[in-house]
Chains A and B, each alone.
Chain A
Amino acid sequence: RAFIFIMLKSKTFVKKTRSGGVMKIVREHYLRDDIWCGSEVCAECKQESAVLQRDACIESNLCTYPHYLIPDTNVVLHQIDVLEDPVIRNVIILQTVLQEVRHRSAPVYKRLKDIIHEKEKHFYTFTNEHHRDTFIEREPGESANDRNDRAIRVATKWYSQHLKTSESDAEGLKVVLLTNDQGNTQKAEESSLLVYKCMWSMFSIRGSTDPFKKLCVSTNEITSSKVLFPEHLPLSRIQAGIKSGSFLQGSFRASRDNYLEATVFVQGEGEDSTEVLIQGLQNLNRAVHQDVVAVQLLPRNQWVAPSAVVLQDEGTAKDDDAEEEEEEKALRISAAEAASKPTGKIVGIIKRSWRPYCGMLNASQIKESTRHLFTPADRRIPRIRIETRQSSTLAGQRIMVAIDGWPKHSRYPNGHFVRSLGSAGEKDTEQEVLLLEHDVPHQDFSQAVLSFLPKMPWAITPEDMVKREDLRHLTVCSVDPPGCTDIDDALHCRELDNGNLEVGVHIADVSHFIRPGNAMDKEAANRGTTVYLCGKRIDMVPELLSSNLCSLRSNVERMAFSCIWEMNDKAEILKTRFTKSVINSKASLTYAEAQMRIDDTTMNDDITQSLRGLNKLAKILKRQRIEKGALTLSSLEVRFHIDSETHDPIDLQTKELMETNSMVEEFMLLANISVAQKIYDEFPDCAMLRKHPAPPPSNYDILLKAAKSKNVEIHTDSAKALADSLDGAKVDGFPYFNTLLRILATRCMMQAVYFCSGMDSDFHHYGLASPIYTHFTSPIRRYADIIVHRLLAVAIAADSTYPDLMDKHKQSALANNLNYRHKMSQYAQRASVAFHTQLFFKSRGILNEAGYVLFVRKNAIIVLIPKFGLEGTVFFDTKDKAAPNLVFDEEGPTLKVEQHNFCIFDKVKVTISLDASNIQHQKIRMALIDPVIPGVSVPAPDVEPQAKKPKLDR
């Protein structure tokens, strides 16, 4: 129908304009008679596909008959976890409820919408506001809330009558209104509707015990007469305060090491952003990590310096005030006057960013107690008090808990149990925790995504060849780390007739398979990157693509995107060409194999020749790059030898770098830079680029201090100066010094980020000393590369654009997601390495190793063990022992323990063992052996004989 001639109502309401005036707004409101009830039972409604099932029975004590649930707004807002449970099906969500939820809480709205989209849940959205029989007008004197409640009741009534008139009567199908509101219940019962309070209707669900465990018992709040925290200011006063400058708005970042300390990062205009220090429970005032908060600065005489003490919240369920006060006092004393930073207190929360947290339950000492404390895996999150009767089953399991609120008289926030992940310490559970905590999407690919995969068997068709250059005759080969199945790059090099060299970099043509806008593309864009954990890979694209069709394996025809240069023997680029192509790789080598071929003078086949040519050019390129000021930084990467059966790590070694590593890297850099220039020229507004901002000078403080202690001077005015002075930094008899210095320098750097060229003006890549850079060479594992492929394809007229590709706002939003995923995947990788390191040390017992002091803290030193690339903390003040005499000097920085002075780069010997006393945070414990300090160091333990595994020890 082109027209609807039903009832026409006009909605009139007044609205305040921005300038403060009042405006009357008139809107049309059409009422329709073609909105269907969505039930399978109904014969009247002419719906195409009914959502609500005929046999709608939730096993429940209260309702033995089939029924549909109609939750009201508050039920949806507070019990969304219950609605998400698979047991709850056949629910009618009214438009009124949906709109109110949308208005009040965006995250709940998002979750509700997700549920509605899930087919198996049978959630039906009934557009009651536009239905002829269920629309009601607001009566004079009626509040908006009351009107909405009435609208919900009217719709419920309509449903119950509608279902009665149809043939469903025989089946006894009923609708049940779910509400927690007293007034609403009463009124609904007056109009003879079936009403249940959400709580007790759920308690009686028989089918599963799960959902009722989830219910937070919001009625009996944990009460205590004592008020622990100051009241939060209302939003209006916060906003006024921010406007007048008396408050600052910023994101709250709890400290990892000290639960009584946090910083608020205040984003200023442009570059000037400040950090405000918050200390003490009262000042922290119930803010949780990553909340957006309003801070009030304290008077200058109360400013303190961040403490260098490491404090962990060890408090039991009872609020142990005496101990806490003591700890706070310790904090204050330790603060030095000189280095005080702006300090403030939190006056209000602007936006909570609570999510479900992973962690473990600390069962209460009282056996019958239902209140327990939950300790999140992330130390920055406070403990959460939950109420459950299942503590005995949940103890020892990794669980997820969501926060419900944090009243001012409660030491801990209140929350509720969401789900269990499995028992702690098991590899699968830990991996799941790790992925969840780092927000890595790791579910299997959905059917919708898989449906966009090419049909097997797959082969290149003549149509594909039309637009592609045939490069199958070239001697292309790939060089990758051992065991790599997703090969995205291959190389070739050959001599041309005119004496110049032709060098080609061939990148897997992933954008040929992943077409913009389809489910697979969306999934890949959301995942952003492939995450490599120890012994596991979370793919960005389905495996068929990542390790077969896109992977440039040897001796099969594969589609590629090629970047081909003509170079002279001084590695100057004479010509650059981009083309889609078909290649046939002649060999997939590992770095070691390639290195062997280059070094072996007896080998002279095409592949080896090609490799030698590449290697020669790469050396020149690298020299040129370093001359321009590119940095060579260092970080230790660890590789595990994993037992093929138990998947336990047997041995670990730091990754070795060979000439061929740098050869491949050089050409990838060159390709990335060439492509970046090309796409930026073509699309100045919407090119996806990558930049690496120069770090602010203050970042280098620690590096400068460290170098100074060894009488080495480091210049940090430019990347070039830094690179040169790092090269020159050498200390006799200390060959490892340079590497240590580079590790420190790496920590000073900023994160490199993706961005959209239309949104930014600073393109410089500091680390590579390149004016422009992007990622082009790994489309199988990074989504940014796919976007760059698409842009480049348009630029060479091999493909067409689509709207989102040209929209700089959408591009920029995408870049932000990619940056976030990238950062999270790195954290997840590190966490995975740490977990495997622990497993490794668990099996090895206690070891003695030599290491270097990397940082000096007030009560500890941080030691790096080069052999394992492992960092650990040696504490000097442990709770069970009397603290030795510690003198900390900020300037050095040095720490004097009894008689011995520790400073950066000192060589020490430590024992390494696994501390499994806290099952959630198993950690590597290090204790000092050498230098021997009486009362502090421990005697060297007997090292377990190593002869058993001679093969693995190198």
Chain B
Amino acid sequence: MRKKTYQLPLCCCRCNVGIPIADCIQIRLVIYNPKCIYYKYFWAVCLAIVLPEKGRMGNVVRRRTRGALRCSSFEVCGNMAGLELLSDQGYRLDGRKATELRKVQARMGVFAQADGSAYLEQGNTKALAVVYGPHEMRGSRSRTRHDRAVINCQYSMATFSTAERKRRPHGDRKSTEMSLHLKQTFEAAVMTQLYPRSQIDIYVKILQSDGGNYSVCVNAATLAVIDAGIPMRDYVCACTVGFVDETPLADLCYAEESGGVSSLALALLPRGGQIALLQMDARLHQDHLEALIEAAMTACKGVSKVLDEVVRQHLEEVSVLSGE
């Protein structure tokens, strides 16, 4: 099977007919014309869908990893641990039902030094996000944009975050890729045009990892950005969804992620229902994609409710302290 990746304009890689795509979403994936007979035959192989701003093309997420698609690992490993991911009664390994999220707990303003900070737990995955800025450009000035702020993201994992001690906390390929994805997500959500020629730094650290690292980072970073008082279009909420036995499972834990499930990560601006980022590295038949995205959006909306509560509660606390 030949694989071809197309930039915009979008056209089917088999019959080369251009396809109109819904306005708000710009896609970089292997694309097929739905009317082309090969359409259903091939698997949807999404890399990233990025929300563009008006009149400007979104950047293309470039994966640094070679042989970018991890579909082979999906085929080989299958359900290696031999675990029953979804029981007949509809319960998952940890007792949740298919659509239920893990318990989310969060605090804002955990550090005084930074402009904004937040700590977020989603089940056993724990992340710390810190925001500096907006401030003037540091490092190379050439990256300066005179119409908007530049967002700089750094993702890292604590050496003690996984079962086996991690050798390199950041700078490896996976972390670099994750940093890029975070950058993409927040460039789509933060109103960067309000701060021309400046820079916003977002640092996220995973303290304990138990699946869904990307989405936990996004959720923590959202709270940190809000804490820093930087205006955003909306909360950005992210969630992973997996596909088991024809059922989408929301918010996968590590055991499920490593159990050979094809998973999809989605970052959503819940009010407008716009997708900030969609990423899927596994193989999935086109027919299932829609149901999966639908489930991810529902899950993201669930997350947004919790984040909203956290922000309101934080505001109350702060206003009590400041005596207003």
> B-contacting residues of A (Cβ < 8 Å)?
1-5, 8, 10, 21, 23-32, 95, 102, 113, 116-117, 125, 127, 129-130, 683, 685, 794, 797, 800-803, 806, 809
Q: From known contacts A30-B96, A125-B89, A802-B287, infer whether A2 and B103 are also in contact, taking CB-CB under 8 Å.
A: no
Q: From known contacts A2-B299, A8-B103, infer whether A30 and B94 are also in contact, taking CB-CB under 8 Å.
A: yes
Give complex CA distance A802, B302 in Å: 31
Name the CB-closest residue of A to B1.
A685
**Which B residues touch A113, using CB under 8 A?**
88
Q: From known contacts A2-B100, A23-B164, A801-B41, infer whether A28 and B87 are also in contact, taking CB-CB under 8 Å.
A: no
> What are 16 A-B pairs with beta-carbon distances under 8 A?
A2-B99, A2-B101, A2-B298, A3-B103, A3-B302, A8-B103, A21-B164, A28-B124, A28-B210, A28-B253, A31-B95, A125-B87, A685-B1, A794-B40, A801-B41, A806-B43
Q: From known contacts A802-B285, A809-B75, infer whether A4 and B100 are also in contact, taking CB-CB under 8 Å.
A: yes
The reply to whether A130 and B91 contact each other, CB–CB distance below 8 Å, is yes
Could you tell me the distance in whole angstroms from the C-beta of B45 to the nearest C-beta in chain A? Answer: 13
The reply to whether A803 and B288 contact each other, CB–CB distance below 8 Å, is yes
Q: Which of B242-269 contact A (CB under 8 A)?
A: 253, 255
**Which A residues touch B306, using CB under 8 A?**
3
Given contacts A28-B253, A113-B88, A116-B88, list 12 more A-B pairs with CB under 8 A: A2-B99, A2-B298, A2-B299, A21-B164, A26-B210, A27-B93, A27-B253, A28-B102, A30-B95, A127-B87, A129-B95, A797-B37
**Which A residues touch B75, using CB under 8 A?**
809
**Which A residues touch B164, using CB under 8 A?**
21, 23
**Which B residues touch A801, using CB under 8 A?**
40-41, 285
B 281-316 binary contact with A (CB < 8 Å = 1; else 0): 000010110000000001100100110000000000
* Partner of A794 from B41, B87, B305 at Cβ < 8 Å: B41
Name the CB-closest residue of B to A798.
B37
Point out which of B1, B95, B288 has the most chain A C-beta atoms below 10 A from its C-beta: B95
Name the CB-closest residue of A to B96.
A30
Give complex CA distance A659, B98 in Å: 62
Could you tell me the distance in whole angstroms from the C-beta of B306 to the nearest C-beta in chain A? Answer: 8
Give complex CA distance A900, B163 in Å: 81
Give complex CA distance A28, B103 in Å: 10
**Which A residues touch B88, using CB under 8 A?**
113, 116-117, 125
Give complex CA distance A27, B101 in Å: 15
The reply to whether A2 and B302 contact each other, CB–CB distance below 8 Å, is yes
**Which B residues touch A5, using CB under 8 A?**
103
Give complex CA distance A438, B75 in Å: 34
Could you tell me the distance in whole angstroms from the C-beta of B261 to the nearest C-beta in chain A? Answer: 15
The reply to whether B100 and A1 contact each other, CB–CB distance below 8 Å, is yes
Q: Which of B12-27 contact A (CB under 8 A)?
A: none
Name the CB-closest residue of A to B75.
A809
Give complex CA distance A806, B283 in Å: 12
The reply to whether A3 and B104 contact each other, CB–CB distance below 8 Å, is yes
**Which B residues touch A10, using CB under 8 A?**
124
Could you tell me the distance in whole angstroms from the C-beta of B41 to the nearest C-beta in chain A? Answer: 6
Could you tell me the distance in whole angstroms from the C-beta of B255 to the nearest C-beta in chain A? Answer: 6
Contact residues on B (Cβ < 8 Å of other chain), bracket:
35 or more
Could you tell me the distance in whole angstroms from the C-beta of B80 to the nearest C-beta in chain A? Answer: 11
B 62-102 binary contact with A (CB < 8 Å = 1; else 0): 00000000000001000000001001110101111001111
Could you tell me the distance in whole angstroms from the C-beta of B64 to the nearest C-beta in chain A? Answer: 28
**Which A residues touch B285, using CB under 8 A?**
801-803, 806
**Which B residues touch A25, using CB under 8 A?**
163
Name the CB-closest residue of A to B43.
A806
**Which B residues touch A794, using CB under 8 A?**
37, 40-41
Name the CB-closest residue of A to B288.
A803
**Which B residues touch A28, using CB under 8 A?**
94, 102, 123-124, 210, 253
Give complex CA distance A31, B255 in Å: 18
Could you tell me the distance in whole angstroms from the C-beta of B299 to the nearest C-beta in chain A? Answer: 7
The reply to whether A3 and B124 contact each other, CB–CB distance below 8 Å, is no
**Which B residues touch A102, using CB under 8 A?**
84
* Partner of B163 from A24, A30, A31 at Cβ < 8 Å: A24
Q: Could you tell me the dominant secondary structure of chain B's interface residues? A: loop
Name the CB-closest residue of A to B254.
A27
Give complex CA distance A316, B95 in Å: 56
Q: From known contacts A3-B104, A130-B91, A809-B75, infer whether A23 and B299 are also in contact, taking CB-CB under 8 Å.
A: no
**Which B residues touch A117, using CB under 8 A?**
88
Give complex CA distance A809, B283 in Å: 14
Give complex CA distance A683, B285 in Å: 16
Q: From known contacts A125-B88, A802-B287, A806-B285, infer whether A4 and B103 are also in contact, taking CB-CB under 8 Å.
A: yes
**Which B residues touch A802, using CB under 8 A?**
285, 287
The reply to whether B100 and A3 contact each other, CB–CB distance below 8 Å, is yes
**Which A residues touch B41, using CB under 8 A?**
683, 794, 801, 806
Give complex CA distance A30, B100 in Å: 11
Point out which of B84, B89, B99 has the most chain A C-beta atoms below 10 A from its C-beta: B89
Q: From known contacts A2-B299, A802-B285, infer whether A127 and B40 are also in contact, taking CB-CB under 8 Å.
A: no
Could you tell me the distance in whole angstroms from the C-beta of B211 to the nearest C-beta in chain A? Answer: 10
Give complex CA distance A127, B306 in Å: 28
Give complex CA distance A106, B103 in Å: 34
4 tightest A-B CB contacts, nearest first: A130-B95, A2-B302, A803-B285, A30-B95
Could you tell me the distance in whole angstroms from the C-beta of A756 to the nearest C-beta in chain B? Answer: 14
**Which A residues touch B1, using CB under 8 A?**
685
Give complex CA distance A10, B245 in Å: 26
**Which B residues touch A24, using CB under 8 A?**
163
Give complex CA distance A130, B89 in Å: 12
Could you tell me the distance in whole angstroms from the C-beta of A110 to the nearest C-beta in chain B? Answer: 13
The reply to whether A800 and B95 contact each other, CB–CB distance below 8 Å, is no
The reply to whether A4 and B96 contact each other, CB–CB distance below 8 Å, is yes
Give complex CA distance A102, B88 in Å: 13
The reply to whether B94 and A29 contact each other, CB–CB distance below 8 Å, is yes
Give complex CA distance A32, B94 in Å: 11
Could you tell me the distance in whole angstroms from the C-beta of A118 to the nearest C-beta in chain B? Answer: 13
Could you tell me the distance in whole angstroms from the C-beta of B220 to the nearest C-beta in chain A? Answer: 18
Name the CB-closest residue of A to B41.
A801
Give complex CA distance A946, B234 in Å: 98
* Partner of B91 from A21, A127, A803 at Cβ < 8 Å: A127
Give complex CA distance A125, B255 in Å: 23
Give complex CA distance A705, B253 in Å: 67
Give complex CA distance A3, B95 in Å: 12
Give complex CA distance A685, B96 in Å: 37
The reply to whether B163 and A23 contact each other, CB–CB distance below 8 Å, is yes
Name the CB-closest residue of A to B208.
A26
* Partner of A3 from B37, B84, B91, B101 at Cβ < 8 Å: B101
Point out which of A25, A30, A800 has the most chain B C-beta atoms below 10 A from its C-beta: A30
Q: From known contacts A27-B94, A31-B95, A113-B88, infer whether A803 and B287 are also in contact, taking CB-CB under 8 Å.
A: yes
Give complex CA distance A800, B32 in Å: 14
Could you tell me the distance in whole angstroms from the C-beta of B68 to the nearest C-beta in chain A? Answer: 20
Name the CB-closest residue of B to A4.
B100
Name the CB-closest residue of B to A809.
B75
Give complex CA distance A127, B89 in Å: 8
Could you tell me the distance in whole angstroms from the C-beta of A366 to the nearest C-beta in chain B? Answer: 48
**Which A residues touch B287, using CB under 8 A?**
802-803
Give complex CA distance A95, B90 in Å: 12
Could you tell me the distance in whole angstroms from the C-beta of A567 to the nearest C-beta in chain B? Answer: 28
**Which A residues touch B96, using CB under 8 A?**
4, 30
Give complex CA distance A257, B91 in Å: 52
Could you tell me the distance in whole angstroms from the C-beta of A481 to the nearest C-beta in chain B? Answer: 38
B 23-54 binary contact with A (CB < 8 Å = 1; else 0): 00000000000000100110100000000000
Could you tell me the distance in whole angstroms from the C-beta of A56 to the nearest C-beta in chain B? Answer: 20
Give complex CA distance A683, B124 in Å: 44
Could you tell me the distance in whole angstroms from the C-beta of B136 to the nearest C-beta in chain A? Answer: 42
Could you tell me the distance in whole angstroms from the C-beta of B159 to the nearest C-beta in chain A? Answer: 15
B 99-122 binary contact with A (CB < 8 Å = 1; else 0): 111111000000000000000000
Give complex CA distance A117, B88 in Å: 9
Give complex CA distance A797, B43 in Å: 17
Give complex CA distance A28, B298 in Å: 23
Name the CB-closest residue of B to A26.
B124
**Which A residues touch B255, using CB under 8 A?**
27
